[in-house]
Chain A
Amino acid sequence: MSPTITAPNQPIPEVSRRTFLASLAASTLVIAAGTNGNRALAWAMQDADDNLPFEPNLFIAIDTAGAVTILAHRSEMGTGIKTSLPMVVADELGADWDRVTIKQAIGDARLGSQNTDGSRSIRRFYEPMRIAGATARTMLERAAAQRWNVSPDECKGRDHQVVHEPTNRTINFGDLVADAKSLETPSENDLKFKPKSEHRYIGRDIPIADLDDIVKGSATFGLDLKREGMLYAVIARSPVLGGQPIKVEVREARQTPGVVDIITLPDFTAPHAFQPLGGVAVIATSTWAAIQGREALKIEWSKSDHDTLNSKEHEATLATSARTPGRVVRKSGDAPATIANAQTANIHEADYYVPMLSHAPMEPPCAVAEVTKNAAGEPISCEAWAPTQNPQAAQSQVAQSLGIQPERVTVNVTLLGGGFGRKSKPDYVAEAALLSSELDKPVQVTWTREDDIQHDYYHTNAAMHMQAVVKDDGLPTAWLQRSAFPSIMSTFNPAADEGSGFELALGFTDIPYDVPNLQVENGKAEAHVRIGWLRSVAHIYHAFAVCSFPDELARRANRDPYEYLMDLMGEPRNLDLTGVEYPNHGEPLSRYPFEVGRLRHVTQRAAKLANWPRKLPKGRGLGIASHRSFLSYCATVVEVDISESGSLSIPNVWTVIDAGLVVNPDRVHAQLEGAAVFGASLTMHGEITATNGAIDQSNFHDYRVARMNDAPKRIHTEIIESDALPAGVGEVGVPPFAPALCNAIADATGLRIRRLPLSKHDLSWNG
Chain B
Amino acid sequence: MITISVNNKKHQLNDDVDPETPLLWVLRDTLGMTGTKFGCGMGQCGSCTVHYNGEATKSCQLQVGSVGDAEITTIEGLEGNGDHPLQQAWKEHNVPQCGYCQSGQIMAAAAMLADNPKPTDDDIDLKMSGNLCRCGTYQRIRAAIHIASASKEASS
**Partner-B contacts on A (CB < 8 A):** 76-80, 205, 207-208, 210-212, 214-221, 223-224, 226, 232, 257-258, 285-289, 291-292, 360-364, 415-420, 446, 448-449, 666, 670-671, 673-678, 681, 699-701, 705-715
Q: Is the CB of B135 within 8 A of A286?
A: no
A364–B75 CA distance with the chains assembled, in angstroms: 20
Q: Is the CB of A700 within 8 A of B94?
A: no
Contact among B38, B47, B99, B121 with A214 in the assembled complex (CB-CB below 8 Å):
B99
Contact pattern, B 98-113, Cβ under 8 Å of A = 1, otherwise 0? 1111110010000000
In whole Å, how far is A267's beta carbon from the nearest beta carbon of chain B?
Answer: 27
- Does B151 interact with chain A (Cβ within 8 Å)? no
Q: Are A700 and B44 CB-contacts (below 8 A) given A219-B99, A286-B30, A446-B38?
A: yes
Chain B residues within 8 Å of A670, by CB: 94, 97, 137, 140
**Partner-A contacts on B (CB < 8 A):** 16, 18, 21-22, 25, 28-30, 32, 34-42, 44-45, 47, 74-76, 82, 87, 90-91, 94-103, 106, 121, 124-126, 128-142
User: Of all chain B residues, which has the CB nearest A361?
Assistant: B134
Chain B residues within 8 Å of A78, by CB: 96-99, 135
A-B pairs with beta carbons under 8 Å apart, 11 shown: A80-B97, A218-B76, A288-B21, A362-B101, A670-B140, A705-B134, A706-B136, A706-B138, A708-B125, A708-B141, A709-B125
Contact among B34, B44, B131 with A223 in the assembled complex (CB-CB below 8 Å):
B34
Contact among B76, B96, B103, B121 with A208 in the assembled complex (CB-CB below 8 Å):
B96
In whole Å, how far is A749's beta carbon from the nearest beta carbon of chain B?
Answer: 24
A208–B135 CA distance with the chains assembled, in angstroms: 15
Chain B residues within 8 Å of A678, by CB: 134, 136
Q: Is the CB of A708 within 8 A of B124?
A: yes
User: Of all chain A residues, which has the CB nearest B87?
Assistant: A215
Contact among B76, B103, B132 with A700 in the assembled complex (CB-CB below 8 Å):
B132
Chain B residues within 8 Å of A214, by CB: 96, 99, 102
A446–B96 CA distance with the chains assembled, in angstroms: 23
Q: Is the CB of B129 within 8 A of A286?
A: no
Chain B residues within 8 Å of A212, by CB: 82, 91
A354–B136 CA distance with the chains assembled, in angstroms: 21
Q: Are A216 and B97 CB-contacts (below 8 A) given A288-B21, A708-B129, A715-B139?
A: no
Chain B residues within 8 Å of A286, by CB: 21, 25, 29-30
Chain B residues within 8 Å of A675, by CB: 136
Q: Is the CB of B141 within 8 A of A420?
A: no
Chain A residues within 8 Å of B36, by CB: 217
Contact among B45, B74, B137 with A217 in the assembled complex (CB-CB below 8 Å):
B74
Give the one of A286, A419, A676 with max B CB within 10 A. A286
A681–B32 CA distance with the chains assembled, in angstroms: 33
User: Of all chain A residues, which has the CB nearest B137?
Assistant: A674
Chain A residues within 8 Å of B16, by CB: 257-258, 285
A219–B39 CA distance with the chains assembled, in angstroms: 16
A666–B140 CA distance with the chains assembled, in angstroms: 12
Chain A residues within 8 Å of B87, by CB: 215-216
Q: Is the CB of A699 within 8 A of B40?
A: yes
Chain A residues within 8 Å of B101, by CB: 362, 417
Q: Is the CB of B40 within 8 A of A287?
A: no
Q: Are A362 and B18 CB-contacts (below 8 A) given A215-B102, A674-B135?
A: no
Q: Are A362 and B39 CB-contacts (below 8 A) given A78-B98, A212-B82, A699-B44?
A: yes
In whole Å, how far is B80's beta carbon from the nearest beta carbon of chain A?
Answer: 10
User: Of all chain B residues, which has the CB nearest A288?
Assistant: B25
In whole Å, how far is B85's beta carbon from the nearest beta carbon of chain A?
Answer: 11
Q: Is the CB of B99 within 8 A of A417?
A: yes
Chain A residues within 8 Å of B132, by CB: 362, 700, 705, 707
Q: Is the CB of A216 within 8 A of B82?
A: yes
User: Of all chain A residues, which has the CB nearest B30?
Assistant: A286
Please list the 9 inter-chain residue pairs (A to B) with the smallest Cβ-Cβ separation, ordered nearest first.
A217-B35, A677-B136, A417-B100, A217-B75, A78-B98, A78-B97, A214-B99, A674-B136, A216-B82
User: Of all chain A residues, which has the CB nearest B126?
Assistant: A709
Chain B residues within 8 Å of A714, by CB: 139
Chain A residues within 8 Å of B41, by CB: 291, 448-449, 699
Chain B residues within 8 Å of A207, by CB: 91, 94
A416–B42 CA distance with the chains assembled, in angstroms: 22
Q: Is the CB of A211 within 8 A of B91?
A: yes
Contact among B21, B91, B94 with A205 in the assembled complex (CB-CB below 8 Å):
B94
Chain A residues within 8 Å of B131, by CB: 707-708
Chain A residues within 8 Å of B140, by CB: 670, 673
Q: Is the CB of B82 within 8 A of A418?
A: no
Q: Is the CB of B102 within 8 A of A708?
A: no
Q: Are A360 and B96 CB-contacts (below 8 A) given A215-B82, A286-B29?
A: no
